[in-house]
Structure 1
Amino acid sequence: MAGHHRRAAVLCGIGTWLPPRVVTNADLARQLDTSDEWIRTRTGIRERRVIDRGMSTSVLAVEAGARALKSSGSSEVDLVVVATTTPDHPCPSTAPEVAHRLGLTGVAAFDLNAVCAGFVYALATAAGHIAAGSAERVLVIGADTFTTVLNPLDRTTLAIFGDGAGAVVLRAGTPDEPGALGPFDLGADGSNADLLIVPAGGSEQRGSGEPLDPADVHFRMDGQPVFRNAVTRMSESAVKVLDRAGWRVEDVDRFACHQANARIISAVARDLAVPQERFVLNVDRVGNTVAASIPLVLADAAAAGDIEPGHRVLVTSFGAGLGWGSTVLTWPELDLG
């Protein structure tokens, strides 16, 4: 099929929302055996946002989704995909309620759980619906309230994670226009599923017949192997997606990595032999926001003029599962609100 006949998913709107409550490293140091210096040297994080009582993932998703729709100049979409690992309920999925609260009642809506790789997986899923002709416009929201699954005594995870939401609108277009999402590289390695895990709450624990261990409702992470895997998988995935796109690494103006940890991002830059300045960062201000990470850093960088229309952007992510994913695009003109 000739290239100009192929439908592509084109980014045409972006919006974000962070809960108002800021938790600084100093705030954490008052309740735990940690310090601002300990957190900053290991993660590059200064502060993060945490939901207030009465908030949930859907609240964040609706706010970010409304801003993305406004940015796109249209409130019409055919599909809503919410990437999240912290849905409001185990059942039903959060997306139908989010769609309803956005005035999109009746449109297809579902959740996608690929943890920190969730947003890129959701972009690929949305792009597939557009390519297949089953959707003209899709609202993709990455939203997580990961602080709700953290152990209040675990200084490592409390320092790293924050809550937030980011969303984009994709429309049907052509592969050669600005904003068209390029090829995708997606992968997973379930042999390492236990490196990042919330052990309880699912069918395995519920079907075990064993009494619930209260510690198992909290997230656990094995830091060192996660660090190594994150660097390797994002670097390899970036190289694969560049190859598929026919780009060289030096063609890329900006790299938007999942914002897990500033040291991981520095290591990816070293692996790819790319100057650190080409990597956009906001992890210092928001921490690891899981599925919200990529849209948040893209929107922040665009608002700051660090990503400009015409810039060639590579997006890469890594998370629990293990899962990873990358894509490329030429940054379009967007209404940033």
Structure 2
Amino acid sequence: MGVTFIGCGAAAPETVVLNDALAQVVDTSDEWISSRTGIRQRHISHDRESLAGLAAQAAQQALNMAGMVATDVDMIILATSSSEDLFGTACQIQAQLGATRAVAFDLTAACSGFVFGVVTASQFIRSGVYRNILVIGADLLSRWVDWNDRNTCVLFGDGAGAVLLQGNPNLDRLLGFEINSDGTQNRCLNLAFKPELRELLPGITLTQGKYQYITMNGKEVYRFAINRVPDAIDKVIHQANLTSADIDWLILHQANQRIMDAVAERLQIAPEKVVSNVAKYGNTSAASIPIALNEAVRAGKIQAGDTIATSGFGAGLSWGAAIFQWGN
């Protein structure tokens, strides 16, 4: 059973925060942010917007594009690191969509989450267990940044993106993939739990607490990305029996324009083939690749049959790459 990519969608919060506005919050400027990251604005969720709501909007758009209804869906995989319920948010999306036949679960792999989700979905499809799977990347990291830390608060935005994968016995559009992790570098980027001890009974102490803000060693993450990501994509290109010249579009996790430029240069992929919307959305974590894909498809840039190389990378540290062709 082959894997095809037949629909996409995206959603972002209404509120847009420009770089100049952030200068009123921390010591920064539009020039400082844009020259280092390529980001000029980001979308920030308010109290009436939820992770499940944005994800359901993106998923419904993907279904509409594919000409399908929610009851056709067999599985929903939500890639997120900012669930509003530690027991999972995917089931809430299932309920909002009315996807009554679908099993739903969360997958946490930070900014690599969407690629990990596509790879996971492909295994269920290729085994013949399920035919129609929604893979959603959604994050609201504005809730988890320290707005007094200019090194991190300027980077992140909120959003959701979705892609509908379908099994096809006559066609396989997923040409290759690779996923990786390196826990020895976990300290470079994390959102850690801070334990607080509480004596429940004499002699019995338990651990409670809360999660802290995002912390990141920007230099180490940059070095990791420009070394690991090109290697992973290059391996997948060879796995697919292609060359970099065969790649129509490069869609990387939208973390930093400088990272995307460096990766494209190492792979010898022309700048005009790099899909980038980091200027408008910032780093939306697991949502960034499907949001960028959706914009390019709906703008008519990506056409049916185009070959796309993609890579997610981030906390864990984790990274993954995949090559697929759009459409069925």
Q: Could you tell me the TM-score, scaled by structure 2's length?
A: 0.93
1:129 equivalent among 121, 124, 129: 124
| SS at 2:54 equivalent | helix
Matched, 1:66 2:76: no
Larger deviation: 225-234 or 33-42? 225-234
Deviation at 1:146, TM superposition (A): 0.8
Deviation at 1:174, TM superposition (A): 4.2
Deviation at 1:278, TM superposition (A): 1.3
Once residues 206 and 118 of structure 1 are traced to their aligned partners in structure 2, the CA distance between those partners, rounded to angstroms, is 32
Tell me the equivalent position of 1:322.
Answer: 317
Q: Could you tell me the TM-score, scaled by structure 1's length?
A: 0.91
Going from structure 1 to structure 2, the CA distance change for 1:186 and 1:211 (only over 3 Å counts) comes to closer
Matched, 1:20 2:14: yes
Once residues 278 and 148 of structure 1 are traced to their aligned partners in structure 2, the CA distance between those partners, rounded to angstroms, is 33
Deviation at 1:302, TM superposition (A): 1.8
Tell me the equivalent position of 1:188.
Answer: 181
Tell me the equivalent position of 1:275.
Answer: 270
Higher strand share: 2
Once residues 57 and 147 of structure 1 are traced to their aligned partners in structure 2, the CA distance between those partners, rounded to angstroms, is 12
Tell me the equivalent position of 1:48.
Answer: 42
Deviation at 1:222, TM superposition (A): 0.5
Once residues 218 and 158 of structure 2 are traced to their aligned partners in structure 1, the CA distance between those partners, rounded to angstroms, is 20
Determine what percentage of the aligned residue pairs are the same residue.
Answer: 38
Report the number of matched residues: 320
Tell me the equivalent position of 2:201.
Answer: none
Task: Report 1:184-263 matches (<5 A).
Answer: 184-200=177-193, 217-263=212-258
Tell me the equivalent position of 1:159.
Answer: 154
Deviation at 1:309, TM superposition (A): 2.5
Contact (CA 8 Å) 2:25, 2:147: kept in 1 or not?
Answer: no
Going from structure 1 to structure 2, the CA distance change for 1:107 and 1:311 (only over 3 Å counts) comes to closer
CA-atom RMSD, angstroms? 1.9
Unpaired runs of at least 5, structure 2: 199-204
Matched, 1:95 2:90: yes
Once residues 145 and 206 of structure 1 are traced to their aligned partners in structure 2, the CA distance between those partners, rounded to angstroms, is 29
Contact (CA 8 Å) 1:280, 1:306: kept in 2 or not?
Answer: no
Once residues 27 and 273 of structure 2 are traced to their aligned partners in structure 1, the CA distance between those partners, rounded to angstroms, is 35
Contact (CA 8 Å) 1:175, 1:182: kept in 2 or not?
Answer: no
Going from structure 1 to structure 2, the CA distance change for 1:103 and 1:154 (only over 3 Å counts) comes to same
Deviation at 1:88, TM superposition (A): 1.2
Structure 2 residue identity aligned to 1:164: G
Q: Deviations over 1:13-42 (max 9, x none)?
A: 111101111010011011110000000000
Structure 2 residue identity aligned to 1:192: Q
1:288 equivalent among 271, 276, 283: 283
Contact (CA 8 Å) 1:175, 1:181: kept in 2 or not?
Answer: no
| SS at 2:148 equivalent | coil
Once residues 270 and 177 of structure 2 are traced to their aligned partners in structure 1, the CA distance between those partners, rounded to angstroms, is 24
Larger deviation: 224-233 or 269-278? 269-278
Deviation at 1:294, TM superposition (A): 0.6
| SS at 2:163 equivalent | strand
Deviation at 1:205, TM superposition (A): 6.8
Q: Deviations over 1:280-315 (max 9, x none)?
A: 100000001101011111111122233222321111
Structure 1 residue identity aligned to 2:54: L
| SS at 1:99 equivalent | helix
Unpaired runs of at least 5, structure 1: 1-6
